[in-house]
């Protein structure tokens, strides 16, 4: 009897737990939508003069302000902890916002990051002061931009231009976690990475019924992400 109990705990219980979570993922694995109809960045220009959009992308949005050198720590943390980890997902991108006339400093920062990884899906975009404030205000968070148009917080924007975050976070004011502090490696590791995985999993589950081949590719990728 003791051997049977031990075998059941070792082999049967993990299977039951897995089936429970697998069957219930649609019920609980959804990151709350905190703000809808966020402004897009189509009117901003990239370093090459091109355009990017939030539409159809899972975006990590940051505001680096007019002194890119002072945001190097945040940029490196994002690069190492977030960009390298999730860049293999084809609909994933990072967007860093800068004011116009800071292209030179921003270009130097991106060049430094390029030595560490392929930054083709990390878009540096530039707009005037009003555009930046309008974009930031459309997030409707409890944060404020610093005078240099920067903030240490970054934001998860889904494919439908909705801000994702937590509405029951024990450490955030009123439980509302709108963004993630990039100067805190602990917050990135313990909260941001998990929340990005949830958003990716949502789209993976939605794709399974419509595009089995595409979903299988994403399943394979997410398994690799979980091992990192």
- Cβ neighbourhood burial of 3 (10 Å; 0-12, 13-18, 19+): exposed
Measured CA distances, 85 to 93, 174, 225 (Å): 12, 30, 6
Q: What is the pLDDT of residues 41-52, one digit of tens each?
A: 999 999 989 999
pLDDT band at 161 (very low <50, low <70, confident <90, very high): very high
pLDDT band at 20 (very low <50, low <70, confident <90, very high): very low
Which helix (H) or strand (E) segment holds residue 47: the answer is none
**Can you tell me the mean pLDDT for 140-148?**
95
Asked whether the predicted pLDDT for residue 11 surpasses 80, the reply is no
Whole-number percent of the chain with pLDDT over 90? 64
Report the mean per-residue pLDDT for the chain.
84
Provide CB contacts within 8 A for 209, sequence distance 6+.
none
pLDDT for 7 equals 55
pLDDT for 22 equals 43
User: What are the residues facing 92 on neighbouring strands?
Assistant: 58
User: Nearest 5°: CA angle at 87, between 164 and 101?
Assistant: 80
pLDDT band at 225 (very low <50, low <70, confident <90, very high): low
* Extents of the domains making up the chain: 30-227
CATH architecture classification, 30-227: 3-Layer(aba) Sandwich (3.40)
pLDDT for 204 equals 81
pLDDT band at 208 (very low <50, low <70, confident <90, very high): low
Asked whether the predicted pLDDT for residue 10 surpasses 80, the reply is no
Higher pLDDT, 27 or 105: 105
- Residue 98 sits at φ, ψ, to 5 deg, of -130, 150
pLDDT band at 189 (very low <50, low <70, confident <90, very high): very high
Largest CA distance in the chain: 75
**pTM of this structure:** 0.81
pLDDT for 203 equals 83
Asked whether the predicted pLDDT for residue 173 surpasses 50, the reply is yes
């Amino acid at each position: 009897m003791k051997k049977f109990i031990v075998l059941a705990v070792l082999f049967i219980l993990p299977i039951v737990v897995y089936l429970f979570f697998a069957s219930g993922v649609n019920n609980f694995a959804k990151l709350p939508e905190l703000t809808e109809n966020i402004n897009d960045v189509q009117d901003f220009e990239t370093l090459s003069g091109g355009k990017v959009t939030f539409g159809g992308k899972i975006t990590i949005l940051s505001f680096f302000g007019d002194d890119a050198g002072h945001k190097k720590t945040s940029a490196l943390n994002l690069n190492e902890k977030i960009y390298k980890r999730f860049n293999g997902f084809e609909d994933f991108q990072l967007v860093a916002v800068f004011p116009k006339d800071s292209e030179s400093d921003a270009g130097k920062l991106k060049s430094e990051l390029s030595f560490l990884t392929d930054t083709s899906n990390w878009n540096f975009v530039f707009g005037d002061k009003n555009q930046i404030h309008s974009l930031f205000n459309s997030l409707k968070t409890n944060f404020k931009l610093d005078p240099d148009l920067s903030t240490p917080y970054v934001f998860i924007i889904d494919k439908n231009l909705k801000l994702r975050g937590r509405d029951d976070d024990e450490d955030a004011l009123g439980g509302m976690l709108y963004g993630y502090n990039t100067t805190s490696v602990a917050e990135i590791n313990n909260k941001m990475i998990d929340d990005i995985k949830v958003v990716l999993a949502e789209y993976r589950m939605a794709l399974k019924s419509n595009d089995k081949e595409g979903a299988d590719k994403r399943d394979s990728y997410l398994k690799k992400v979980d091992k990192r």
